[in-house]
Amino acid sequence: MRKSILGLVFLTAAASAADGVAQYTGVITDTMCAAKHAMGITPDSKCVRDCVKTDPKKWKYALLVGNEMYVLSDQQTPEKFAAQKVKVTGLLFEKTKILRADKIEAVR
């Protein structure tokens, strides 16, 4: 009985998380520069990559959607999309502004 209750609680939590999955369109950036890229490094894609590589514990790949910036849970895939417009499918954790990136694809 106890296992079935725990299983039901887990399934309910998983279903709730799945309900929050959405698509977000924005530009891959880094938490140091955001939209500005004022470091004097060009092009912007090199600036994004260099900023994250400078201190990966401090600076992260993020998705800039309008004025909102969301840190991406996946820190490997965004490197190839640096400074590009993308569509990210995932779950946004509002309190922490972390976006669980299930899928990242370029937008043309």
Give the model's pLDDT for residue 6. 39
- From residue 70, alpha-carbon distances to 6, 62, 80 in Å are 32, 5, 18
Domain spans in the chain, listed from the N-terminal domain onward? 21-106
Give the model's pLDDT for residue 24. 98
Q: What does the pLDDT look like over 42-73, one tens digit per residue?
A: 899 999 999 999 999 999 999 999 999 999 99
